[in-house]
A and B are shown apart, each in its own frame.
Chain A
Amino acid sequence: MRARKPLDLRRALVVDSITKYFHLPQPPLWKRLLGATAELPEAGQLPTAPKGGKTPIAAVDHVSFSVERGEIFGILGPNGSGKSTLVRLISTLLRPDKGSAKVFGIDLADDEMGVKQLISRVSVDAAFFKKLSPMENLLYGARLYGVTAPEATVKAYEIMGRLGLKRSSYNEPMEEMSRGMQQKVAVARAFLTSPILLLLDEPTTGLDPRSKRDVREFIEELRDSHDATILITTHDMEEADALCDRVAVIHHGKLAAIGAPEQLKRGSSENGNFSTLEDVFIYLTGEQLIDSEAADIA
């Protein structure tokens, strides 16, 4: 059995110049199965698309940031900005082409299994076996993380009750539940395994205001009572403002700004103050979009 590196309990997550390209011209499949990778472009450049091939894109482009233990860290960005790709990279579901990420000091490239034991992820689409009941899904997930059924059952009742799920729905197929209810079960499943880094990829999308509030309160409670660090991607600026200690704005795969919501709203001497985080977001993403369009025309 391989000895595990001790955890660095100060820093929950350190992302260093992480980069992911899609649709790069690839070597033949047999070479790829043997580990061959595409030739990587220089920073800020992309190769031209092969004839009939898709245009290469840098989904995440040299992004660096760190998250302190116990922090709620928000990642904001428009659709297609690279938020979910970034979460997938940290979740070990994607391999970066460049750069690295460390979770509590464990490098994803060195010890993927060690990282998996520390994290849990809630994605925007509640990933469940729809024919199974919430309880069956939760027990399945709990066992994968080494939690026995009796222990998980007690915790599952507690968490589902806390999230306002009706007891009558615990043993009904998930497909009969509303999207909001399904998302609540997804949140319950993530909490069930007591992760110390929780990755929430737009967890409140599609929820009604009451459910959104329940989930937000539960996220804060988890941070306070279970010493969890939370990385959350969201479109909801109000939510980010209320929930996050710090936020990073990502646009076209690149980090556009990072800081506490209040700090970002205060702005700089060049652009003045913003009244809401949404104004900051529009300034950073909308303005840059216009700039890049102007650059294309030029």
Chain B
Amino acid sequence: MGTVMRRGLSAMRLESLQSYAFLVRNWHLTRRYWGWEVVWFFYSLTSGLSVVFIAQGAEALTGATPSFDVKYLTMYLIIGTLIWRYLSSIFMLTSEVIAWERWEGTIEYTLMAPVERWVHLVGQTAYSLIYSLITTLLIGIAMALFFELDLSNANLLGAAAVVLAGSLSLIAIGIVASILPLLYPERGAQMTEVVQASFLLISGVYYPISVLPDWMEPLARISPVTYVLDGTRAAVLAGAGIADLLQFIAPLLALGAVALPIGLRAFKAAENYAKRAGKLKRVG
């Protein structure tokens, strides 16, 4: 084996070990903060159930027999709840890559370690994907105890493909949002919440984007969350095949391919600025 290749393999091994360090560290943190995990699980489950019960209560609310399919609306809201839970969790955990370090007071230690920033972010996003997938599945299983899920027509593999494609875009947006705690030690973490809340409003999580005011609809059409929701609903509710789902998957992959390198470059620029301005010192 040539020297260059050996060096390349050695670098790959080192980078894998470093990414794994972040993954394991985050797992240990989750384990040690298990009380918060229980609280967060119940909060997510109860808020999701509260939304889905709106469909079940339509008759009682209006005093009339609904002229729509209650089961369809129930599934529509369940998909919205679970997909939003998954994507917002990925966004939140990715965007907190710096916020966690500030909360714990470890930002200087982590950022002076000989780790390329993309390696750091791979570790953090791998954890966010695994964590979000597991917790969303658990919430989905718990919701199935309350409502009758009709998956007879569902293309679950197609739905998974849409969700995975959408994950890339949310990771990229999360990386860009993680710059805020880097630039604004005191208020940066709260600013990322505003980004997340805006996606919830415009992306048709619990309603079609057609009900939004005209000026909001263009925003909804560029939100990757809209494509993930539309694609997943098409796969689960209408059983759309992969060929039909490409209209959702292709833009999501394209957005991810463009946004990820931009996110990394933006993060690097923000880190350089933070080092010039002395923003890494304060813990916020």
Q: Which residues of B contact A119 (CB under 8 A)?
A: 112
Min Cβ gap A95→B in Å is 5
| Closest chain B residue, CB of each to CB of A113 | B114
The 8 Å CB contact of B113, one of A95, A97, A129, A145, is A145
Q: Is the interface of B mostly helix, strand, loop or mixed?
A: helix
Write out, one digit per residue, whether chain B residues 22-37 have a CB within 8 A of any chain A CB (1) or not (0). Answer: 0011001100110000
Contact residue among A34, A95, A127 (Cβ-Cβ distance under 8 Å from B276): A95
Residues of B within 8 A of A35 (CB): 269, 272
What's the least CB distance linking B185 to chain A, in Å? 14
In the docked arrangement, what's the CA distance between A49 and B108, Å?
A: 28
Interfacial chain B residues near A37, Cβ < 8 Å: 276
Q: Are B17 and A148 in contact (CB-based, < 8 A)?
A: yes
- For the A-B complex, the count of residue pairs with Cβ-Cβ distances under 8 Å equals 105
Q: Does A129 lie within 8 Å of B25, measured CB to CB?
A: yes
- Cβ-defined contact, A125 with B105, below 8 A: yes
Also in contact, A131 and B32, with CB within 8 A (given A1-B4, A88-B281): yes
Task: Pick the contact of A129: B7, B17, B29 (CB < 8 A).
Answer: B29
Q: Which residue of B lies closest to A85 (CB)?
A: B278
Q: How far is the CA of A103 from the CA of B110 in the complex (A)?
A: 20
- Is B142 located at the chain interface by the 8 A CB criterion? no
Number of interface residues of A (CB under 8 A): 41
Contacts of B112 in A (CB 8 A): 91-93, 116, 119, 121
Neighbouring B residues of A143 by C-beta, 8 Å: 17-18, 20-21, 24
- Report how far A93 CA is from B107 CA in the complex, Å: 10
Per-position 1/0 for B272-284, Cβ under 8 A of A: 1101111011000
* In the complex, B11 has a CB within 8 A of chain A: yes
Assign chain B's interface to a size class. 35 or more
Question: How far is A288 from B115 in the complex, measured between Cα atoms in Å?
Answer: 42
A-B pairs with beta carbons under 8 Å apart, 24 shown: A22-B278, A29-B183, A33-B269, A33-B273, A85-B278, A88-B108, A88-B278, A93-B108, A93-B275, A113-B114, A116-B112, A128-B104, A128-B106, A129-B106, A130-B104, A131-B32, A131-B33, A132-B25, A132-B32, A140-B25, A144-B21, A144-B114, A146-B14, A146-B114
Interface residues of A (CB under 8 A from B): 1, 20, 22, 26, 29, 32-35, 37, 85, 88, 91-95, 97, 113, 116-117, 119, 121, 123, 125, 127-132, 136, 139-141, 143-146, 148, 173
